[in-house]
């Protein structure tokens, strides 16, 4: 049974899906006005970890991640650069998808864009207006009236009155109470051409309604898990919860999960502190995508990750140790057995305990150490090596920090095949020259009884 820390109840709870064996998962996606930074990717990597663990435990996951392609920031950027809104948002959506792929983040099933779902948002706002949970201001904006919803503050565990003055709202709109938040923003000059018709006049949606409308459309009015970074908890998720429960009359989400922030040298990332990194900066600094994955996953998702360029060596040496044991085990047998060593039970238990990756890594590295000792002492059977191979690959299906051993680039594969032909014809000189060529390309060959094994150096 997987246990997850639910922000709503502030407890670790056993995860019970609404439909047996299936999980509806909604993760708040990027606001595409700029490149996503490594803090954003900390959160996206936590969500990827959650999904990989659910998949490893045989759940069928329907994962939806929205793309926020209209809000104050995207409009401002388009205005500053004198470009169309979608020119900006397409550019940064593609950059986000490319970075996600490089980081081996599993693709979501759906990436709905806010601008494609304005009708659904308007419909939800209309329900809220008709139920008197929302009101229309003089300028044609629509606000959620939080005093009408007594459960407001549940997610942050604050009462309605404590929240006063904390709501992040701009003063330019006409509100009943400072806590009320915008569902629909009437058109302002700065919005330029960015406007849609609505029953309340021209305008655009507020940010929070985007996620309520899109999660409902793709996952239904009541689904299993909703994730984001801690800063999403309030006001964004609190407001989503208010809108959805009041318009749909459902509990909305069963488990709310939030990951802590990534800091750099213990400080908040900011351009002025010169500690602000996007993924391509890390590559320039000599990080691999896997190095960054390792740094993020070596901390528990509810603890801060302290990133530092200096941590590159730590990540590289950890990954090298795993790659080494993988090669040593493959040297004994290149088969992967169906059974895993017993230690996998402890490894799984830590993952099932609210995704405790530091503990899972400690268990894994302890196994690596013991296995190295056994290999040194020639105290390992072929079957144990086969089970070891299976454990390394299973580990990698969760952490995804090693290259896949079975995937050879086409060029390498065709060289290996032609060498095989030369060997069959006993043309040793030609086969040796291919071996040299492969070595120069970074691939090592080992001829075994069961065929030629190819490994990356």
Please enumerate in sequence order all residues whose Cβ is within 8 A of that of 425, keeping only pairs 6 or more positions apart, or say none: none
From the list ligand AMP, Zn ion, none, partner contacted by residue 40 (C-beta under 5 to 8 A by kind) = ligand AMP
Structure tokens at 121: 């948002």
Could you tell me which stretch among 3-11, 223-231, 379-387, 412-420 binds ligand AMP (CB under 6 A)? 223-231
Q: How far is the CB of 287 from ligand AMP (least distance, A)?
A: 17
CA-wise closest residue to 110 among 64, 168, 45: 64
Cα 186 from Cα 195, distance rounded (Å): 9
Binding flag, residue 153, ligand AMP (CB under 6 A): no
Query: Minimum distance from CB of 239 to Zn ion (Å)?
Result: 9
431 binds ligand AMP (CB under 6 A): no
> Which of 6, 7, 43, 334 is the binder for ligand AMP (CB under 6 A)?
43
Q: How far is the CB of 245 from Zn ion (least distance, A)?
A: 15
Spatial distance between the Cα atoms of 346 and 364, rounded to a whole number of angstroms: 9
Of residues 147 and 280, the one with the C-beta less far from ligand AMP? 280
DSSP string, 190-225: GGTT--B--TT-SEEE-HHHHHHHHHHHHH-SSEEE
Which residue lies nearer to ligand AMP by CB, 152 or 307?
307
Q: Does the protein bind Zn ion through residue 183 (CB under 5 A)?
A: no
Distance CA 126, CA 202 (A): 15
CB atoms within 10 A of CB 86: 16
Stretch that binds ligand AMP, among 24-32, 85-93, 186-194, 196-204 (CB under 6 A): 24-32
Pick the piece of the chain touching ligand AMP (CB under 6 A) from 27-35, 241-249, 373-381, 401-409.
27-35
Q: Is residue 28 part of the contact set for Zn ion (CB under 5 A)?
A: yes
Q: By rule CB under 5 A, what count of residues binds Zn ion?
A: 2
C-alpha span between 117 and 214 (Å, rounded): 7
| Minimal distance, residue 231 CB to ligand AMP, in Å | 5
Minimum distance from CB of 180 to ligand AMP (Å)?
22
Told to check if 228 binds ligand AMP by CB under 6 A, we report yes
Rounded to whole angstroms, the Cα distance separating 176 from 143 reads 9
Contacted entry of Zn ion, ligand AMP, none for residue 211, CB cut-off 5 to 8 Å set by kind: Zn ion
SS3 at position 173: coil
For residue 231, the partner it binds in ligand AMP, Zn ion, none, with Cβ less than 5 to 8 A by kind, is ligand AMP
Q: DSSP labels for 52-89? A: HHHHHTT-EEEEEE-BB-SSHHHHHHHHHTT--HHHHH
Q: Does 265 bind ligand AMP (CB under 6 A)?
A: no
Q: What kind and span of H or E run contains 380?
A: none
- Give yes or no for residue 40 binding ligand AMP (CB under 6 A): yes
Q: How far apart are CA 202 and CA 216, in angstroms?
A: 24
* Contact with ligand AMP (CB under 6 A) among 6, 232, 239, 350: 232
Q: Return d(Cα 304, Cα 300) in angstroms, integer.
A: 8
Residue with smaller CB distance to ligand AMP, 4 or 329? 4
Residue 32 binds Zn ion, judged by CB under 5 A? no
Minimum gap (Å) between residue 95 Cβ and ligand AMP: 12
Query: Does residue 31 touch ligand AMP according to CB under 6 A?
Result: yes
| CB closer to ligand AMP out of 72 and 346 | 72
In this structure, the number of other CB atoms found within 10 A of the CB of residue 172 comes to 11
* The one segment of 23-31, 50-58, 154-162, 248-256 that binds Zn ion by CB under 5 A: 23-31
Q: How far apart, in whole angstroms, are the C-alpha atoms of residue 285 and residue 229?
A: 26
Q: Which partner, ligand AMP, Zn ion, none, binds residue 357 by CB below 5 to 8 Å per kind?
A: none
Which long-range contacts link 74-82 to residues 24+ away (Cβ below 8 Å)? Answer: 74/31, 74/32, 74/33, 75/190, 75/191, 75/192, 75/194, 76/33, 76/190, 77/33, 77/34, 78/192, 78/194, 79/190, 79/192
Q: Pattern of binders to Zn ion over 207-236, x per CB under 5 A? A: ----x-------------------------
Q: Which residues bind ligand AMP (CB under 6 A)?
A: 28, 30-31, 39-40, 42-43, 68, 228-229, 231-232, 261-262, 269
Q: Which residues bind Zn ion (CB under 5 A)?
A: 28, 211
């Amino acid at each position: 049974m997987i246990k997850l820390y639910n922000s709503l109840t502030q407890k670790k709870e056993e995860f019970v899906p609404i439909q047996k064996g299936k999980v509806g998962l909604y993760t708040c996606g990027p606001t595409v006005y700029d490149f996503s930074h490594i803090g954003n990717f900390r959160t996206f990597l936590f969500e990827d970890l959650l999904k990989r663990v659910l998949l490893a435990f045989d759940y069928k996951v329907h994962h939806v991640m929205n793309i926020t392609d209209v809000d104050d920031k995207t409009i401002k950027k388009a205005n500053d650069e004198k470009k169309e809104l979608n020119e900006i948002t397409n550019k940064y959506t593609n950059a986000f998808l490319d970075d996600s792929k490089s980081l081996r983040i599993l693709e979501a099933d759906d990436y709905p864009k806010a601008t494609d779902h304005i009708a659904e948002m308007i419909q939800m706002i209309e329900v809220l207006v008709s139920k008197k949970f929302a009101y229309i201001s003089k300028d044609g904006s629509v606000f959620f009236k939080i005093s009408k919803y007594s459960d407001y503050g549940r997610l942050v565990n604050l009462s309605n009155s404590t929240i006063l003055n904390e709501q992040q709202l701009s003063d330019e709109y006409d509100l009943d109470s400072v806590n009320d938040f915008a569902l629909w923003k009437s058109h302002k000059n700065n919005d330029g051409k960015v406007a849609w018709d609505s029953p309340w006049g021209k305008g655009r949606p507020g940010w929070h309604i985007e996620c309520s409308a899109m999660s409902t459309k793709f996952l239904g009015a009541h689904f299993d898990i909703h994730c984001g970074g801690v800063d999403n908890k309030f006001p964004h998720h609190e407001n989503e919860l208010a809108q959805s429960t009041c318009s749909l009359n459902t509990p909305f989400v069963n488990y709310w999960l939030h990951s802590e922030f990534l800091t750099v040298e213990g400080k908040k990332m900011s351009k002025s502190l010169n500690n602000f990194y996007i993924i391509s900066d890390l590559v320039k600094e000599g990080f691999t995508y896997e190095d960054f994955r390792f740094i993020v996953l070596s901390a528990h998702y509810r603890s801060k990750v302290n990133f530092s360029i200096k941590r590159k060596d730590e990540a590289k040496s950890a990954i090298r140790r795993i790659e080494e044991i993988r090669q040593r085990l493959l040297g004994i047998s290149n088969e992967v057995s169906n059974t895993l060593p017993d230690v996998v039970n402890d490894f799984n238990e830590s993952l099932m305990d609210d995704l405790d990756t530091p503990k899972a890594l400690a268990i894994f590295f302890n196994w690596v150490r013991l296995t190295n000792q056994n290999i040194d002492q020639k105290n390992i059977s072929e079957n144990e090596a086969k089970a070891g191979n299976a454990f390394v690959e299973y580990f990698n299906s969760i952490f995804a920090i090693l290259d896949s051993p079975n995937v050879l680039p086409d060029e390498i594969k065709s060289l290996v095949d032609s060498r095989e032909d030369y060997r069959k014809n006993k043309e040793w000189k030609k086969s040796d020259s291919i071996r040299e060529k492969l070595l120069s390309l970074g691939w090592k060959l080992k001829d075994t009884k069961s065929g030629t094994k190819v490994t990356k150096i």
